[in-house]
Amino acid sequence: MEMASLAELLREFKERSGLSYGVLAKRLQMSTSTLHRYCNGDAVPTDFGPVERFARLCGATPEELVEVHRRWILADADRGRKTEPPAAGAAPAPAPTKEPEPAPQPEPEPTKEPEPKAEPPQETEAAPEAEPQPAPVSSPSPPTAPSPPPPHADAAGPSSSRQPSPRSWGSAPPPSS
């Protein structure tokens, strides 16, 4: 029933537009036969997008867009009920009687426990305290000059591994230290 209602509205849009199925289908980037099935009620698109584009292409008003969306939702739900195959050899299931469900008990909100803070290890009486060992002394090494930073792609100065950029052409080389 809902599929027929959607199809009726789609046919109305198509007639009002004055365009053929072929022209509309080409503009919507779908096959002519698919569009024809939508307008005849033989098929319902799984997504609302094609229906919305069709309605807009045919000049639907905002109110008509709301109505076509409502009808598509109903037709899509109806299509879902019709595609469920009955069990082989089984009689149609009786309509389920709905028993009142017990009111759900509100679940207590989980309390967030504070995250444990790093605490220094506690000393136990059983373990003897170790004597602090002096730090190893290394022989002094001669001071070294800091290494230059790696070249960046946007650096103005030339690098040994690449050609100077046009920005640096004609600029003096950086002073050496």
> Helices (H) and strands (E) in the chain — how many of each?
5, 0
Q: Is 18 among the domain residues?
A: yes
Instruction: Return the closest-CA partner of residue 14 out of 35, 31, 34.
Output: 35
Domain count, the chain: 1
Q: Is 94 among the domain residues?
A: no
What is the predicted pLDDT for the residue at 60?
95
First to last CA, the chain: 88
What is the predicted pLDDT for the residue at 19?
94
Q: Is 144 among the domain residues?
A: no
What is the predicted pLDDT for the residue at 120?
60
Its pTM stands at 0.47
Rounded CA-CA distance 92/115 in Å is 57
What is the predicted pLDDT for the residue at 126?
55
pLDDT at 13 over 70: yes
Contact by Cβ (8 Å): 9, 67: yes
pLDDT at 85 over 60: no
Which conformational region is residue 121 in: left (phi greater than 0), alpha (psi within -120 to 50 degrees), or beta? beta
Q: What domain range is 42 assigned to? A: 2-82
What is the predicted pLDDT for the residue at 42?
93
Q: Is 76 among the domain residues?
A: yes
Q: Is 120 among the domain residues?
A: no
Q: Is 51 among the domain residues?
A: yes
pLDDT digits (tens, 9 = 90+) for 115-169: 656 666 565 555 556 666 666 665 566 666 666 666 655 545 554 555 555 555 5
Q: Is 138 among the domain residues?
A: no
Q: Is 106 among the domain residues?
A: no
pLDDT digits (tens, 9 = 90+) for 22-65: 999 999 999 999 999 999 999 999 999 999 999 999 999 999 99
What is the predicted pLDDT for the residue at 80?
73
| CATH code for the domain in which residue 11 is found | 1.10.260.40
